[in-house]
Amino acid sequence: MELEKKHIQQATQEEIRPPVTIMGPMGWIRANLFSSWFNGLLTVLIIFLLWKTLPPFFKWAFVESLWRSDGTACRDAGGACWSVVSQNFRFMIFGFYPHDQQWRPLLSMAILVALLFYSRNRNHWKKLLVYAWLTGLLLMGVLMKGGILGLVDVESTQWGGLPLTLLLAVFGLTAAYPLGVLLALGRQSRLPAIRTLCIVYIELIRGVPLISLLFMSSVVFPLFLPEGVSINKILRAQVAIILFTAAYIAEVVRGGLQGIPKGQLEATETLGLSYYHTMRLVILPQALKIVIPPSVSILISAFKDTSLVVIIALFDLLKTTQSVLSDPQWMGFSTEAYIFVALVYFLCCFFMSNYSRRLERELNVERA
Partner 1 sequence: MVDTKDSLPESKTSFWYDPAKRSILYQVVSLLFVGLLGYYLLSNTRHNLERQSIATGFGFLQKEASFEIGESLVAYSAADTYARALWVGILNTVLISGIGIVLAVTLGILIGIARLSNNWLVSRLSSVYIEVFQDIPVLLQLFFWYAFCYEMLPSPRQAIHPMTGIFLSNRGLVFAVPATHPAHRYMCAAFSCALIAVFFLRRWSRKRQERTGRTFPMLGTSLGILLFFPIGAWWLAGAPTAMSMPVLKGFNFEGGLTISPEFSALLMGLVLYTAAFVAEIVRAGIQSVNRGQTEAAMALGLKSGRVLSLVILPQALRVIVPPLTSQMLNLTKNSSLAVAIGYPDFVSVAGTTINQTGQAIEGVAMIMAVYLCFSLLTSAFMNWYNKKIALVER
Query: Which stretches of the chain bind partner 1, using CB under 8 A?
Result: 31-33, 35, 39, 42-43, 46-47, 190-194, 197, 204, 206-212, 215-216, 219-220, 222-227, 300, 304-305, 307-308, 310-311, 318, 322, 325, 332, 334-335, 338-339, 341-342, 345-346, 349-350, 353
Q: Pick between residue 35 and residue 135 the one whose CB is nearest to partner 1.
A: 35
Least gap, CB of 164 to partner 1 (angstroms): 14
Least gap, CB of 98 to partner 1 (angstroms): 27
Least gap, CB of 182 to partner 1 (angstroms): 11
Least gap, CB of 345 to partner 1 (angstroms): 5
What's the 3-state SS for the chain?
CHHHHHHHHHHHHCCCCCCCCCCHHHHHHHHHCCCCHHHHHHHHHHHHHHHHHHHHHHHHHHHCCECCCCHHHHHHCCCCECHHHHCCHHHHHHCCCCHHHCHHHHHHHHHHHHHHHHHHCHHHCCHHHHHHHHHHHHHHHHHHHCCCCCCCCCCHHHCCHHHHHHHHHHHHHHHHHHHHHHHHHHHCCCCHHHHHHHHHHHHHHHHCCHHHHHHHHHHHHHHHCCCCCCCCHHHHHHHHHHHHHHHHHHHHHHHHHHCCCHHHHHHHHHHCCCHHHHHHHHHHHHHHHHCHHHHHHHHHHHHHHHHHHHHHCCCEHHHHHHHHHCCHHHCCCHHHHHHHHHHHHHHHHHHHHHHHHHHHHHHHHHHC
Least gap, CB of 243 to partner 1 (angstroms): 13
Q: Pick between residue 145 and residue 304 the one whose CB is nearest to partner 1.
A: 304
Q: Pick between residue 139 and residue 325 the one whose CB is nearest to partner 1.
A: 325
Q: Pick between residue 88 and residue 154 the one whose CB is nearest to partner 1.
A: 88
Q: Pick between residue 30 and residue 145 the one whose CB is nearest to partner 1.
A: 30
Least gap, CB of 210 to partner 1 (angstroms): 8
Q: Pick between residue 104 and residue 319 the one whose CB is nearest to partner 1.
A: 319
User: Residues 165, 306: contact at Cβ < 8 Å?
Assistant: yes
Q: Pick between residue 266 and residue 362 the one whose CB is nearest to partner 1.
A: 266
Q: Which long-range contacts (CB under 8 A, 24 or more apart) does 153-158 make?
A: 154/97, 154/98, 154/101, 154/104, 156/232, 156/233, 156/234, 156/235, 157/96, 157/232, 157/233, 157/234, 158/95, 158/96, 158/97, 158/98
- Cα 120 from Cα 49, distance rounded (Å): 40
Q: Pick between residue 271 and residue 342 the one whose CB is nearest to partner 1.
A: 342
Least gap, CB of 277 to partner 1 (angstroms): 15
Least gap, CB of 197 to partner 1 (angstroms): 6
Q: Pick between residue 283 and residue 300 the one whose CB is nearest to partner 1.
A: 300
Q: Pick between residue 174 and residue 189 the one whose CB is nearest to partner 1.
A: 189
- Whole-angstrom CA distances from 101 to 10, 151, 164 are 83, 9, 15
What type of residue is 291? V
Least gap, CB of 245 to partner 1 (angstroms): 15
Least gap, CB of 291 to partner 1 (angstroms): 16
